[in-house]
Amino acid sequence: MTRFGMLVFVVAVAAGVTGPFLLRPFGLYLISMWAVLTIAAIGLNLTLGYAGQVSLAQGAFVGIGAYTAALLTQAGCPFVIAFVAAGSLCFIIGWILGYPALRVQHHYLAFVTLAFTTLVFLVLRNEEWLTGGIYGINGIQRPNVFGWSTAKAINFYFFSFGVLAALAFATWWMLRSPWGRAFVALRENPIRAASLGVDTRRYTLMAFAIGSSLGGMSGALYAPLVQFIEPNSFSLGLSFSLLLMVIIGGSGYFFGPFVGTLIAVLLPEWLRVTEGYYLIVYAAAVMAMMAFCPAGLLGLIERSARALGGRRRPETTQALVGGADS
């Protein structure tokens, strides 16, 4: 990481810690939502940005995580265990789902995950005995974590922010390990990675399963944040939004999901002046961005920084060669 990047990072963390004290309840809700969805977006970024697979199931994994956590905590299970269960369940489902899809051609995962999201929606809607059907699950309590109550909005924000920080650090650490570098290798040049003995299929599957698991953990936080979950929240729309978040921030950049989610969460507020037309503006902006800068906002920043400064290497090759200056 460059010195400038470090500075931005420190400022961002400082803003994340001090900001909430200045916000009204709705603002707190929004930034908590940002922290929760960023976890899911980080997971999707692993699948999309690092393993190069389009997944349209991240919203479904958030849903599975949310329902798992809500049902377990309402049955009296401590939140920490429910959280771990949500993550593990999504890891297993992700593995089972990715196994057939990744055996065949590249774009098939997009279709299989699209189908999966619809199936999950149908199960959530139809299996009333378990999920409450279209009425969803009401009155989900904010958890007590090791004796600390997160019932107050600001406490819940700090809890989500803490989980986000821990999971982000774990992902960062994983991507820097020899094992994680294989993810980058298989995105940059799958054939070369394969010829160097990286089992590309296995690593792609692993990236997808870990990404799904992060989706589940995000869902486990989503349930107590919103306190009411219903099947429609986790339909294809959420998966599309998460995909757009990762792309807008910059897929394959570690901080891409943070930026993309921030924009996706705040944009509806900023575009309130456009009233009902916000989604049209959003969709048009995404199309324009794809046409001019498919690498996303961070890609755009990097490109302009390179145009200004001249000789900064792109982050991807840095990650590959070990990043002498990182």
What residues line the site for other proteins (CB under 8 A)?
52, 54, 100-101, 103-105, 107-108, 110-112, 114-116, 118-119, 122, 126, 191, 236, 240, 243-244, 247, 276-277, 279-280, 282-284, 286-287, 290-292, 294
Q: Which is nearer to other proteins, 13 or 290 (CB)?
A: 290
Residue 70, C-beta contacts closer than 8 angstroms, at least 6 positions apart = 137, 140, 223, 229
* Closer residue to other proteins, CB minimum distance, 166 or 290: 290
What dihedral angle (degrees, nearest 10) is formed by the CA atoms of 12, 217, 100, 319? 30
**Min separation Cβ 3 and other proteins, Å:** 31
Residue 221, strand partner residues: none
**40, 46 Cβ separation under 8 angstroms:** no
d(CA 255, CA 315): 11
Provide the minimum distance between the beta carbon of 48 and other proteins in the complex, in angstroms, as a whole number: 8
Q: Which residues pair with 137 in a beta bridge?
A: 229
Q: How far is the CB of 141 from other proteins (least distance, A)?
A: 31
| Other beta carbons less than 10 A from residue 184's beta carbon | 22
Judged by beta carbon, residue 164 or residue 298, the one nearer other proteins is 298
CA Rg, the chain, in Å?
Answer: 19
Least Å distance, CB 122 to other proteins, is 5
Q: How far is the CB of 207 from other proteins (least distance, A)?
A: 16
Closer of 42 and 244 to other proteins (Cβ): 244
* Whole-Å CA distances, 230 to 31, 34, 38, 130, 134: 21, 20, 21, 12, 6
Nearest distance from residue 208's CB to other proteins, in Å? 15
Indicate the angle between helix axes 236-249 and 296-309, nearest 10 degrees.
10
Nearer to other proteins, 29 or 240 (CB): 240
When the beta carbons of 162 and 294 are compared against other proteins, the nearer one is 294
Q: What share of the chain is helix, strand, coil (3-state, %, to 5)?
A: 80, 0, 20
Q: What is the rounded distance in angstroms from the CA atom of residue 173 to the CA atom of residue 322? A: 13
Q: Which residue lies nearer to other proteins by CB, 126 or 317?
A: 126
- State in angstroms the smallest separation of the CB of 79 from other proteins: 32
Rounded Cα gap, residues 63 and 71, in angstroms: 12
